[in-house]
Amino acid sequence: MSRIEILGLTQQFKGHRAVDEVDLVIEDGDFVVLLGPSGCGKTTLLRMIAGLLEPTAGRIVIDGQDVTDLPSKKRNLAMVFQSYALYPHLSVAKNLAFPLAVLRMPKEERDTRVRDVAATLGLDKLLQRKPRELSGGQRQRVAVGRALVRQPSAYLMDEPLSNLDAKLRTATRQELSELHARLAATFVYVTHDQVEAMTMATKIVVLDAGRIEQAGTPEEIYHRPASVFVAGFVGAPPMNLVPAVAGSAAGVVTASASGMDARLWQGEVDERDVVIGVRPEHLRVADSATGALRVHGVVERIENLGSEQVLYLRAGDALLTARGDGLGGYRRGDAIVLGAALERIHLFDPETGRRLEWVSDSDELPAIEASVPIPA
């Protein structure tokens, strides 16, 4: 069990900052996912926490103890990597026992721990096999098991599922979530896969260019993305983001772009540029959904996924995406009117990329106007 505090952590590689003054608190029992595009600094941050890489600046505190200068093996953290790195010539049992042998643990205690971990991970029947006699998923479980036997205070995982096929990934994702619940331990998990992040994390930390863009629960990240970057990175297909102008007319705040109009809430604002964001799954055919947003477009392409359709439409200058199960009847070239409810509309500042809130309950988010939403 451990609480990990990261204070101003920085890693400077020859002239460029891979991790740039990151502050983060990982609570005891959290499943924190570090999420971001390739090269954003996830692995570098994890390696600094693990003690495999010395930070250029900043501190790491685990359970109140400053461990920044402690070597990796004294931090009582376990790492699970993308490549399983099992010893090919050793049996599963010996692979599992290996970290304990290194610690010179007595054989009897070692055997008990290996048995317990094998039972936890469903490896009991495979203990005598060699890694080459296992499937990819089983090998991955042995790799996790090797971390588990040490009973570390936290688990650090770097893309542990990326070598598995899609089906196995889903199953192993579920296993990891269950394992986390059972162990009630702290997990820090690196991935660029948003599905892994959304399904397993108690807290997602979205990184871009070495900095934290947003840290929050999966719901917060999805429903209230703090920036255009987060809005565009989390969600598939990504959120529609359209440059628009906000203003007010007859006491109602509006935002419009060519082919798109939003009547937002009661109040007055000075005219200003904004970016309107709306997720494809929140755009509905306008007859069946009244709402604050109206989009007038022309269908360009439809993808039928069976359970639902993805529709690409041109609205003014923007190419938008809508996703749902009520879009089947349209053809290329059809005119279409879509709507979205007020609470599904996001506004961002085009200069800073940061979210604009109309009901500002956070000091960090600039309020465009605090006022009461008008009924749809």
Binding residues for ligand ATP, per CB under 6 A?
Answer: 13, 18, 36, 38-44, 192
Strands 203-208 and 31-35: parallel
User: In angstroms, what is the minimal distance from the CB of 213 to ligand ATP?
Assistant: 13
Comparing CB distances to ligand ATP, the nearer of 211 and 354 is: 211
On the CB side of 348, CA atoms within 13 Å amount to 23
User: In angstroms, what is the minimal distance from the CB of 196 to ligand ATP?
Assistant: 12
Comparing CB distances to ligand ATP, the nearer of 13 and 87 is: 13
Q: How far apart are CA 41 and CA 19, in angstroms?
A: 6
Q: What is the residue type of 155?
A: Y
The phi, psi pair for 241, rounded to 5°, reads: -130, 115
Comparing CB distances to ligand ATP, the nearer of 10 and 76 is: 10
The first and second tokens of residue 87, run together, are: 């010893």
Comparing CB distances to ligand ATP, the nearer of 35 and 264 is: 35
The first and second tokens of residue 348, run together, are: 């961002």
Question: Other CB atoms closer than 10 Å to residue 246's CB: what's the count?
Answer: 21
Cβ neighbours for 340, distance < 8 A, ≥ 6 positions apart? 278, 282, 283, 284, 289, 291, 292, 293, 295
User: In angstroms, what is the minimal distance from the CB of 10 to ligand ATP?
Assistant: 12
User: In angstroms, what is the minimal distance from the CB of 13 to ligand ATP?
Assistant: 3
Comparing CB distances to ligand ATP, the nearer of 37 and 328 is: 37
Q: What is the residue type of 240?
A: N
User: In angstroms, what is the minimal distance from the CB of 267 to ligand ATP?
Assistant: 41
Question: Other CB atoms closer than 10 Å to residue 87's CB: what's the count?
Answer: 12
Question: Other CB atoms closer than 10 Å to residue 268's CB: what's the count?
Answer: 12
User: In angstroms, what is the minimal distance from the CB of 78 to ligand ATP?
Assistant: 19
Comparing CB distances to ligand ATP, the nearer of 192 and 323 is: 192
Q: What is the residue type of 71?
A: P
